[in-house]
Copies of this chain bind each other. A is one copy, B any other.
C-alpha cells in the first residue's frame, strides 16, 4: 500500500480547467453500484439505482436518505449528481480525484466532507486506504467510495434493526455515525500496528535480522501514511463543531465533540507509535551489531589462542643443525605440556577480562 499517495498519476489532471472531473485513482472497469437507504422512525426502504438521474427527488420529504456510491471512476455519474443536486464543480472534481486531503467545506445548502478510510485486508496481509467523500444535505447524505465493501455494515444493520436512536435522528446524526464508524476503524488499524509492534519487539529480543528492520521501516511508513490522514481529520471534526452550519443540530454537537476526542486519541497513539518505532530502530541496530561482535570476538579469540602455539611448532620445525632441545628425549612432551599450559592460561586470562 504504502507508495500510493506519492506516485499517483497527477499528470492526468495537469492543465485541465478547474472543475473538470478526472478520476486519479487506480483504473477500474466494474460497474458502479448505487444503493439507497431511505428511512424515518416508522419505516425503511432499501433500493438500488442504475444512474443518478433525478436523485434530487430524495431532497424533500420527511425521511432521511443515505445514497452510497461505490466507485468514483465513472465520471458520468458524478456529473449527473452535480447537475441534479446543484453541486459546485470543484466539489465534483474533488470527489473524483482520490488523493484529497481530509477537509470540510460549507456551501450553505450543503456541507462537503472528505476523509480517508483505513482497513486491514486479512487475505492480502496489508492495509488499504480509500477516500470517502460525503455530501450532507438537509434530508439526504450522499457518500462516494472508491471500492465496494466498506466499514459501514454494522451501521447499516443498526439502521435496519432500529438499534440505538439513529432512526429518530436527522442527517447530521447520520453524518456523525458515518464518521464514527470511520474513526472506529482507525482504532482497529492502531490495534494492528500495536500487534505488529509487539511481534517486532519479540523479534528484537530474540533473533533480529535485516527482515526485522525492513518490517520496522514498513511499519514506520504506514504510520507516516495514517498520520497524514489523521491530523487533518481532527481539523475536519473541529470545523464541523465550530462552524455552526444550519444543517447541524445542537444536540449532535455533544456527539461530535466525542468524535473530536477520539480523533485526538488516534493522533496521540500514532505519535507514541512513531516515537517507539524510532527507539526500536536503535535497539535493532545495536542488537545486530552486538550479535555480530559476539561472533567475531569468539572467532578472534580462537585465532589468538592458536597463533602463539603455531609459532612454537614453527620454532621446532626449523632445520638448524644445532638445536639442543630437539635431541632431548623429553623435548616433545615438554613442548606439548607448555602448549597446553599456554592455551589454558590464555583462556583463563580472557575469562578474567570478561572477554568470553
Check B286–A284 contact: CB distance below 8 A: yes
Nearest opposing residue in chain B for A101, CB measure = B265
Check B310–A332 contact: CB distance below 8 A: no
A116 CB to closest chain B CB, in angstroms? 12
B contact residues around A194 at 8 Å (CB): 3, 5-7
A176 vs B307: C-alpha distance in the bound complex, in angstroms? Answer: 74
A224 vs B194: C-alpha distance in the bound complex, in angstroms? Answer: 14
A72 CB to closest chain B CB, in angstroms? 17
Query: Residues of A with Cβ closer than 8 Å to B?
Result: 3, 5-11, 13-20, 88, 90, 94, 99-101, 103, 105, 153-155, 157-158, 163-166, 176-177, 180-181, 184-185, 187-188, 190-191, 193-195, 197-198, 201, 205, 207, 210, 213-214, 217, 220-221, 224-225, 227-228, 232, 254-255, 257-258, 261, 264-265, 268-269, 272-273, 275-276, 279-290, 292-293, 295-297, 299-304, 306-311, 313-323, 325-329, 331-332, 335, 353-355
A265 vs B284: C-alpha distance in the bound complex, in angstroms? Answer: 33
Across the interface, A286 reaches (CB within 8 A) one of B6, B213, B314, namely: B213
B contact residues around A315 at 8 Å (CB): 313
A37 CB to closest chain B CB, in angstroms? 16
Q: A6-B269, A194-B7 are in contact. Are A329 and B318 (CB under 8 A)?
A: no
Q: A6-B197, A268-B101, A295-B355 are in contact. Are A158 and B15 (CB under 8 A)?
A: yes
Check A303–B313 contact: CB distance below 8 A: no
A191 vs B258: C-alpha distance in the bound complex, in angstroms? Answer: 35
